[in-house]
Amino acid sequence: MPWRERMASDKIRPMKHTPYSYRDDPAVPKFDDMHPIAFIDGECALCSTSARMLHRLDRTGNIRICPVQTETGRAVLAHYGLRADAPESWLWLADGCAHMDAEGIIAMARRLGGWARVVGLMRVLPKPLRSWLYRRVARNRYAVFGRGDLCALPEPGLRARLME
């Protein structure tokens, strides 16, 4: 398949939900959504490292982290048409609005500010290319970075951010 066709087939479904729509979904358990939440793969070494970096960069201490393997993680992802076992299962939820893949990472970096804003440089790439690059990394993350356990003895500050 030619490069352009592969990129086109990897386009991401836009998040066409109203803010806080998950609150009306009976399959989604109630959870505290007063602050932003990063839904990440708790078994991925790259994601676990990213969560630790998020913890260090979030000076407010408000951002929560929810492994996609939890009941809440699986239900929220399903609400947005994602599967917890899919490589592209990274989701950023802020102010009731969901952002996924590279767009979610950019939105999170914007919220973190400081050095994290460097991630915003990804915006110079066309959106389809950003999405394609994100999917390539996501699909190969276990092979390249290995597996890790986000919940394995995290420091107390990080443990406090984790959602069940």
Full DSSP string of 55-82: HHH-SS---EEEETTSHHHHHHHHHTT-
Q: Which domain holds residue 114?
A: 3-161
Average pLDDT, the chain: 85
| pLDDT band at 2; cut points 50, 70, 90 | very low
Collapsed DSSP state (helix, strand, coil) of residue 108:
helix
Q: Is 94 helix (H, G, I), strand (E, B) or coil?
A: strand
DSSP state of 106: H
Q: Residue 103 is inside which H or E element, if any? A: helix 101-112
Distance CA 164, CA 93 (A): 16
Reported as a single tens digit per residue, the pLDDT across 52-95 is 899 999 989 999 999 999 999 999 999 999 998 887 778 999 99
The one-letter code for the residue type at 74 is: R
Q: How many domains does the chain have?
A: 1
Query: What's the whole-number mean pLDDT along residues 17-33?
Result: 96
Dihedrals φ, ψ of 86, to 5°?
Answer: -85, 140
Give the Cβ contact number of residue 5 at 10 Å. 9
pTM of the model as a whole: 0.82
pLDDT of residue 75: 96
Assigned token pair, 21: 């729509």
Per the CB < 8 A criterion, the answer to whether 82 and 100 are in contact is: yes
